Amino acid sequence: MKYIHFIIGIALFIGVRLFEVSAFDTSALGLALWMVYWWIVQPVPLYVTALLPIAVGVPFELIPNDVLAQSYGNQMIFLFLGGFILALGIEKWKLHEQIAFSILRLFGRTPKRILGGFMFSTALLSMWISNTATTLMMLPIAMSVIQAIPSFKEKRLFSVGLLLSIAFSANIGGTATLIGTPPNIQMAGILEQEFNLSISFFEWFMIGTPFMIIMMVLTYITVKFYFIKNASFKMDKIEPQKLDPNQKRVLYLFLTVVALWMSRTFLNDYMPIVINDTVIALSGAILLFIFPSTEKRPLLLWDDLDKLPWGILFLFGGGMALAAILAEANIVSFLVDVMKPLANFPVIILLLVIFTVALFATELMSNLALVSLLIPLIGKFAIELDLPLLGISAGVALSASCAFMLPVATPPNAIIYSSNLIQIKDMVRYGFLLNLIASVVVTGVIYVLFFI
């Protein structure tokens, strides 16, 4: 079956090339359809599909070499690389566990407080660490807590709600920061490459944080209403251990990086050199290979990077290259002309339609792939209609991170589903409700921040 999908993707490219259209290059459209099809059915890994702009785009002269190099070497990719390395340092020294247990102790030991503690811990970690790594970190902690909970009539229902809340919070938490989830970085890279619009870490924080806070509150209310309204128990006291010297060193370095990210714009006014978010992230990552641990070795060794998801960096590059190919071939301009009648709708309805389509589409395909396809189109559409480019693009990126319905939609969903405590009908039922809530919240936040 996999080989059939493999052949269909190639056939799409060949078949579309046979047609001649004066408005745009059909070869570029064929490559886009090929990549989208493979990204959806995945006969090869997502990361392999992301290399097609090199393997196909170059020989068919769909993208100039300098633009191709800029796509796979975009500074946003290295910002994410720096974030990955910092996350590996946190994971290696188990700092994340200390943070999670400290928050759980702070929140309390009753059902509502445990739910709030897990959701807050997960969202906080997901702001700085990939939502995949965050969920992998939180799942064993949650399973330990579930086992320690005294038996009561609604225990299974509470357990399902707690696990679902981790997946939901991991997806939502990452939206608050530029490095928290791949769609944010991908959007920022495409806007910089295609529209010459740079987004700083702080600028995105001021957009993503209001959305994250509102969604977290509404998700907590939803999960509490359906899963723990009848739960009643009190756990034994949860005590985290004291931070060891290595954990303190990693924590201080990480907090310094975050502080520099937040204050970079202010500091650049007073420094003889100009730094950006990528420089800060990579500098922090490099210091992990320099600062010693109590074991007389650096806090991070090169071998520790075996766990780093290198493939996702190629996925970023492939998405940006595809965006450049679509722009070079005039496909984006053609589709914008097709979409212009939508301008007759009231702005808030237009936003709701765009964000809802993006949100539900990401249930079926990679959110990175979705952003790679939509941001060039939506960005050009926004410029043509004199709408805020950053606002529309940010809404699409936020929507792409809100896939709550299916295990295949995002890695956090798949990881939580693997616990064998959740039935797919539960995830679909409550995920669909959160999808609807998210589409309204994204629309409301973007409308308030950019249109009022």
pLDDT in tens, 73-115: 888 788 778 888 887 888 788 887 777 677 767 777 778 888 8
pLDDT above 80 (res 260): yes
Q: What is the pLDDT of residue 283?
A: 93
The 3-state secondary structure of the chain, one letter per residue: CHHHHHHHHHHHHHHHHCCCCCCCCHHHHHHHHHHHHHHHHCCCCHHHHCCHHHHHHCCCCCCCHHHHHHHHCCHHHHHHHHHHHHHHHHHHCCHHHHHHHHHHHHHCCCHHHHHHHHHHHHHHHHCCCCHHHHHHHHHHHHHHHHHHCCCCCCHHHHHHHHHHHHHHHHHHHHHHCCCCCHHHHHHHHHHHHHHCCCCCHHHHHHHHHHHHHHHHHHHHHHHHHHHCCCCCCCCCCCCCCCCCHHHHHHHHHHHHHHHHHHHHHHHHCCCCCCCCHHHHHHHHHHHHCCCECCCCCECCCHHHHHHCCHHHHHHHHHHHHHHHHHHHCCHHHHHHHHHHHHHHCCHHHHHHHHHHHHHHHCCCCCHHHHHHHHHHHHHHHHHHCCCCHHHHHHHHHHHHCCCCCCCCCCHHHHHHHCCCCCCHHHHHHHHHHHHHHHHHHHHHHHHHHHHC
Domain limits, the chain? 45-451
Q: Among residues of the chain, what percentage have pLDDT more than 70?
A: 94
Confidence at 439, pLDDT banded by 50, 70, 90: very high
Give the mean model confidence (pLDDT) for residues 306-334: 79
Distance of CA 231 to the CA centre of its chain: 32
Confidence at 408, pLDDT banded by 50, 70, 90: low
Confidence at 374, pLDDT banded by 50, 70, 90: confident
pLDDT above 70 (res 7): yes
Q: What is the pLDDT of residue 213?
A: 95
Give the mean model confidence (pLDDT) for residues 361-375: 76
More confident residue, 389 or 181: 389
pLDDT above 70 (res 320): yes
Question: Quick one: which of 125, 90, 130, 122 has its CA closest to 304?
Answer: 90
pLDDT above 70 (res 239): no
pLDDT above 90 (res 357): no
pLDDT above 80 (res 152): no
pLDDT above 70 (res 240): no
- Residue type at position 184: N
More confident residue, 303 or 138: 303
Q: What is the pLDDT of residue 312?
A: 76
pLDDT tens column, 21-32: 777 788 888 998
Strongest mean pLDDT among 75-84, 247-256, 409-418:
247-256
Give the mean model confidence (pLDDT) for residues 216-244: 77
Supply the mean pLDDT for the chain: 84
